């Protein structure tokens, strides 16, 4: 029973994409945060309960920079909130899914995160997240 958490979108520049999404959604970016472990700056929007995370690489060799080089800007991942990320990672491993990290990592918003390989999910990178208690 996953709860939808957010949709991650890879962008070249938060400076241009924040005002763009503010115009698009008619609501202001409510938070920006650097996640140094992932080499990204993030910006968050909330629209009717739907959360959007824009991601800009702060490292030319970071995962988001590489993603944009290969595929261009656009949908990068879909995140689901889980109550117990350790249990969920175990369950997914048993189900045969490839996890991109063996232990949870620090994500934005004070969360523990884990990614499931897109090859196992019809080309979509899936992020699991759990709030730190
Ligand atoms: Zn995310």
Q: How remote is the CA of residue 127 from the centroid of ligand 1, in Å?
A: 6
Q: How remote is the CA of residue 44 from the centroid of ligand 1, in Å?
A: 10
pTM over 0.95: no
H/E stretch holding 10: strand 3-10
CA distances from 80 to 19, 65, 113, 128 (A): 26, 23, 10, 5
pLDDT at position 62 is: 95
pLDDT average, residue stretch 48-63: 94
Q: How remote is the CA of residue 9 from the centroid of ligand 1, in Å?
A: 9
pLDDT at position 83 is: 93
Name the residues around ion ligand 1, CB cutoff 5 A.
8, 53, 79, 127
Q: How remote is the CA of residue 39 from the centroid of ligand 1, in Å?
A: 13
3-state secondary structure 31-81: EEEEEHHHCEEEEEEEECCEEEEEEEECCCCCHHHHHHHHHCCEEEEEEEE
Q: Which residue has the higher pLDDT, 132 or 41?
A: 41
Q: How remote is the CA of residue 89 from the centroid of ligand 1, in Å?
A: 17
pLDDT average, residue stretch 38-43: 96
At 11-36, the pLDDT tens digits run 999 999 999 999 999 999 999 999 98
pLDDT at position 28 is: 96
pLDDT at position 1 is: 59
Residue 4: name the closest of 56, 63, 52 by CA: 52
CA distances from 106 to 12, 38, 44, 120 (A): 23, 9, 17, 23
pLDDT average, residue stretch 101-120: 94
Please give the structure tokens belonging to residue 86: 């350790």
């Amino acid at each position: 029973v996953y709860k939808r958490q957010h949709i991650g979108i890879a962008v070249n520049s938060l400076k241009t994409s924040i005002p763009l999404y503010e115009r698009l959604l008619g609501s202001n970016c409510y938070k920006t945060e650097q996640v140094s472990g992932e080499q990204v700056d993030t910006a968050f929007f909330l629209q009717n309960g739907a959360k959007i995370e824009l991601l800009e690489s702060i490292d030319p060799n970071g995962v988001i920079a590489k993603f944009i080089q290969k595929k261009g800007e656009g949908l990068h991942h879909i995140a689901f909130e889980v109550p117990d990320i350790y249990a969920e990672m175990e369950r997914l491993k048993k189900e045969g899914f490839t996890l991109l990290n063996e232990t949870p990592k620090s994500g934005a918003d004070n969360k523990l995160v884990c990614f499931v390989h897109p090859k196992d999910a019809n080309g979509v990178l899936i992020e699991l997240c759990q709030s730190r208690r």
